[in-house]
């Protein structure tokens, strides 16, 4: 159970990081 929660948290962090990167790219444009 703990492993699943940890994995899920990582996935969310990755998604958030990707979104932030996309926003940065847009700003550069």
Checking if the pLDDT of 1 tops 60, the result is no
Q: What pTM was computed for the model?
A: 0.17
Give residue-wise pLDDT tens across range 7-24.
Answer: 666 666 666 666 666 666
**pLDDT at residue 16, rounded to an integer:** 65
Go through 1-29 and write b for each residue having 16 or more CB atoms within 10 A of its CB, e for each that does not: eeeeeeeeeeeeeeeeeeeeeeeeeeeee
């Amino acid at each position: 159970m703990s492993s699943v929660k940890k994995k899920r948290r990582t996935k969310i962090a990755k998604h958030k990081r990707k979104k932030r990167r996309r926003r940065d790219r847009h700003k550069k444009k």
